Amino acid sequence: MVRLIKPDTSFKSEFLDMISEWKESGEELIPWSLNFNTTDFNEMVEKINGYSNGIGLKDGFVECSTYWLINENNKILGAIDIRHRLNEKLLYRGGHIGYGIRPSERKKGYATQMLSLALNICKTIGIPKVLITCDKNNIGSSKVILNNGGILDSEEIENGEVFQRYWIDLS
């Protein structure tokens, strides 16, 4: 059984373990909220949680709620960011949701479960239609989106890379 939790300082060692594993893999940390400086962990958690209320947002950013996916043993399996609304940039690429599962926990169905849980939160926030984008070569992510009712809207090219835009209707 997995569940989403808001970032919490009591999960410091679990979070740092996940970040360390990710960095050792050499892969990009996704979603973007995993890239914050963890030197002052309490401050980082406060900053991330403040974004959901629009506190401390930089220009061009929108309100965003971050959740960590944990299992029954309180191991952090991944993270997901839910943007409450879209600006012009996010409407093109980025969308409402960004997510990632730590390397050792992939291909176990966790991303599909995490996105499903996040879509319930989107309904609560009042987002009737969710945009999610992913690189075309990220077959795993596109399957996760399709498994949650995503419908391919378009394929676009940015910096020579093809990415896909999917919509999920929650109404």
Confidence of residue 144 (pLDDT cuts 50, 70, 90): very high
pLDDT in tens, 124-143: 999 999 999 999 999 999 99
Q: Which amino acid is located at 51 in the chain?
A: Y
Confidence of residue 111 (pLDDT cuts 50, 70, 90): very high
Q: What is the pLDDT of residue 10?
A: 98
Mean pLDDT to the nearest integer, 9-26: 97
Q: What is the pLDDT of residue 7?
A: 98
Going from the N-terminus, what domains does the chain have, and what CATH number goes with each? 3-169 (3.40.630.30)
Confidence of residue 107 (pLDDT cuts 50, 70, 90): very high
pLDDT in tens, 65-89: 999 999 999 999 999 999 999 999 9
Confidence of residue 63 (pLDDT cuts 50, 70, 90): very high
Output the CA torsion sign for 18, 23, 26, 27: positive
Q: What is the pLDDT of residue 64?
A: 97
